[in-house]
A and B are shown apart, each in its own frame.
Chain A
Amino acid sequence: MSSYLKLSGISKSYGQFTALQTVDLDIKKGEFVTFLGPSGSGKTTTLMIIAGFEQATSGSVEVNGKSLFGLAPHERNIGIVFQNYGLFPHKTAAQNVYFPLQMRGINKAAGMRKAEEMLDLVGLQGFGHRYPKELSGGQQQRVALARALVFEPSLLLLDEPLGALDKNLREQMQIEIKRIQRALGVTTIFVTHDQSEAMSMSDRIVVFEKGRIQQVATPLDIYHRPETKFVAGFIGESNLVDAKVSDAAKGEARSAALGKVEYAVTDKVANDNDVTLMIRPEHIRLSRNPIEGRKNVRMKVETIVNYGDNALVIGMVEGQPMRVRVLGADVVIIREGEEFCISWTRDSVYMIAK
């Protein structure tokens, strides 16, 4: 893999506190990569080190083979969209977008023309003369995006840019950002703590926790093949069951609550090792009677969380909480306190070694 942005061994500490611990990462040209993690996991710190607003305690950042060491933020040619957009209130939308060109000595006529073109691209044709306070949140977001892209930056960094928008607008902007990013082919890092945002937008996701990278993989791999228990629990709903490997070759483990559970063998783990088994709620079927060819256990329903199109049925199996996803139409026949059979196949049990 040819690497365009290369982070090598980046660490950052504030006194006793370690914010980042030896972060290594390679990003390809044109890739859309999401930094995902809870707050304080180090994703924003990493972004700020790339942008030059924070200095790494050790490690290096290279873009296209050139080290960024010693370059001030304004010398890095990196476009950033901040969480609250950072639009200049005393400048119109077009003047905001012209600003980076102005700083690069491009004359006003040519620069303003280019700014207007960029505003067209983000869908703000005819809004150039408006001041930020005369624009809606989504429109301000687009101006910020146009401003961060107009000078053809080597990288685009987005720091939780959709956090302030309501849900519908957020989904619309996710699609817009992807469209614009593809149109320009700019290498992009998107920081978020919203897993669905990360899922829907990214080529690859980098999961951060406690200053370390937990996993770097495509959204589907992150969802179906999480490498650590943290990733499995952080992304999507999941049932995580502690178990001990009983037959490594066949893929069998024993759990206190579920008994013998067969899993899909994807990783080599020796017998008697402690592992975590992950079963996604949508892979579990709920029925009155056991279903042949599947692992069946009985579960007492405790809570039903209805989302309309689907519902999450939460129950207990021998003291082990289990979550089952059912279609919204089916939820009417389920009562809290009733006992049901839940069942799954070997293929839907994923074993996590660590």
Chain B
Amino acid sequence: MRWLGIAVVVFIAAPLVIVVPMSFSNARSLQFPPPGYSFGYYQAYFTDMSWLVPTWNSILIATATTVLTMLLVVPATFALVRHKFRGKGIADLMMLMPLAVPHIVMAVGYYSYFGNVGIVHTHLGVILAHTCLSVPIAFLVLSANLKGFDRTLERAALSLGASPTKTFIHVTLPILRPGLIISALFAFVQSFDETVVAIFISGRGAETLPRKMFDSIRQEADPVIAVISTLLFLAVIVGVTAPLLVARIRSRRTPATA
């Protein structure tokens, strides 16, 4: 069993082992093992506008998608989890629908529809499309959190003199904060990572990083792709371990102040 586990980990981690050395390669195109090592492609990435603009586009689009998603999902989740109303079943289904429809089908739809409206190849178009894809994911995460929320806490706050608004601000939101952060993070990552819809509708005007990488690997196999993969991998490691580290430091500090 243990060997099987190790085999699975090695198999899954293998691409990383290949990608990271390739990013330090001095070869002209993607090649493993690299013939020699240099920081040349890191320099290329950080100076070449044809890479930096898509990176900026992706950050901008993912951020806007996250904000828009949360503005829609937070009220919708409260309504769907806490209230009963006519058509609730259908509303629940509609929230999750984009998960069930293949991205390629959505992409074709957006391409022709946004074309008619005139927002294909714009940031706005990509943001709207990505929001549609992020909403069900953020909704799933947040509604699971909200269902587990102990409503006695809100009653307690009311009985202690907090108005419904203050109860929401001082009790409901802080307790739901981890759920809100995770659901926003999922929305962000979904947009940042999304390729199919981006290929169809981002065009030259709002080219995202995944789209640029896809084009690049098809045309020239530029080792900058390995650089970006490595940087993204690093960002994920930092993103995952930082909260754990913060929690550990905080829990070590609490008894000390006792």
Contacts and interface: CB of A to CB of B under 8 A. Distances in A.
Interface of A: 51, 53, 72-74, 76-80, 82-84, 86-90, 99-100, 102-104, 129, 147-148, 151
Contact of B155 (A53, A77, A129, A151): A53
B interface SS class: helix
Interface stretch (B55-63, B157-165, B194-202): B157-165
Contacts of A147: 160
B159 A151 contact: no
B9 interface: no
A94 to B, nearest CB: 13
A55 to B, nearest CB: 14
B175 interface: yes
A104 B257 contact: no
Interface in B143-182: 150, 152-153, 155-164, 166-167, 170-171, 174-175
Interface of B: 150, 152-153, 155-164, 166-167, 170-171, 174-175, 257-258
A86 B162 contact: no
Contact of A103 (B153, B160, B257): B160
Contacts of B174: 90
A74 B161 contact: yes
A72 B158 contact: yes
Nearest to A77: B161
Contacts of A104: 161
A86 B155 contact: yes
Contacts of B175: 88-90
A interface SS class: loop
A103 B166 contact: yes
7 contacts: A72-B158, A73-B158, A74-B159, A74-B162, A77-B161, A86-B150, A86-B155
Nearest to A126: B258
Contacts of A77: 161
Given A86-B152, A90-B174, A90-B175, A99 B158 contact: no
B222 to A, nearest CB: 48
Contacts of B164: 72, 74
A102 B157 CA distance: 11
The 9 closest A-B pairs by CB, nearest first: A86-B156, A100-B160, A103-B161, A86-B152, A73-B158, A80-B159, A74-B158, A103-B162, A90-B174
Contact of A84 (B150, B158, B171, B257): B150
Contact of B160 (A53, A89, A129, A151): A151
B101 to A, nearest CB: 38
